[in-house]
Amino acid sequence: SQTEVYDGKAWHDGAGIPVPGDHLAAASDRSYLYAVGGRKFIPRNGTNAVQRYDPATNRWTSLAALPERISGAGVAISGGQLLVVSGENTTPAVSSTVLAYDLTDPTATWTTLPSLTPGRHGLAVTAIGNTLYAIDGSTRPGHTASTATVDALTFS
């Protein structure tokens, strides 16, 4: 559960993350760090936790849980939206789901965007403007089917 914070000069301990795990995804909007999903060693121990770290107060806050437990997803933030892309579910199988959460709405719920084809986990994700890019990853659990696929999803 250890959180390490780099302040531009040195590393120091931060507040422990409430729902720790490996294979979690993270993104920042320059104010907060968002930690999404993850698992404890094996896919069936996946989590649907969405956690926000505020370095100014050294506090973690839980946000609305993902609709499914997922690990190895990609995440990005664009236009006030937290975007969660693909990943590995608890079966284990690779999910193609793309989800959005409006960080500006205190009553937000998760919405589904067009699916990633093919679904994959262990991928890199970034958003530039209103386009989300999903890069590489594995199309099967266990990284047995690495791919060099790049997808772009434009949203408003």
Q: For 129-144, how does the pLDDT look when each residue is reduced to its tens digit (9 = 90+)?
A: 889 999 999 999 877 8
- pLDDT reported for residue 42: 83
| Residue 125 in tokens | 């994700």
Residue 46 identity (one-letter amino acid): G
Q: How many CB atoms lie within 10 A of CB 137?
A: 28
* pLDDT band of 44, cuts 50, 70, 90: confident
Task: Confirm if 148 and 139 have CB atoms less than 8 A apart.
Answer: no
Q: Report DSSP state, residue 97.
A: E
pLDDT at 36 over 90: yes
Per-residue confidence (pLDDT) for residue 123, from 0 to 100: 95
- Answer for the pair 49, 73: CB distance below 8 angstroms, yes or no: no
- Report whether 30 contacts 77 (CB < 8 A): no
- pLDDT band with cut points at 50, 70 and 90 for residue 108: very high
Which tokens is 34 given?
Answer: 């968002």
- Mean pLDDT, the chain, as a whole number? 93
Q: What is the pTM of this model?
A: 0.93
Signed CA dihedral, 150, 152, 153, 156: sign only: positive
What does the pLDDT average to over 67-83? Answer: 95
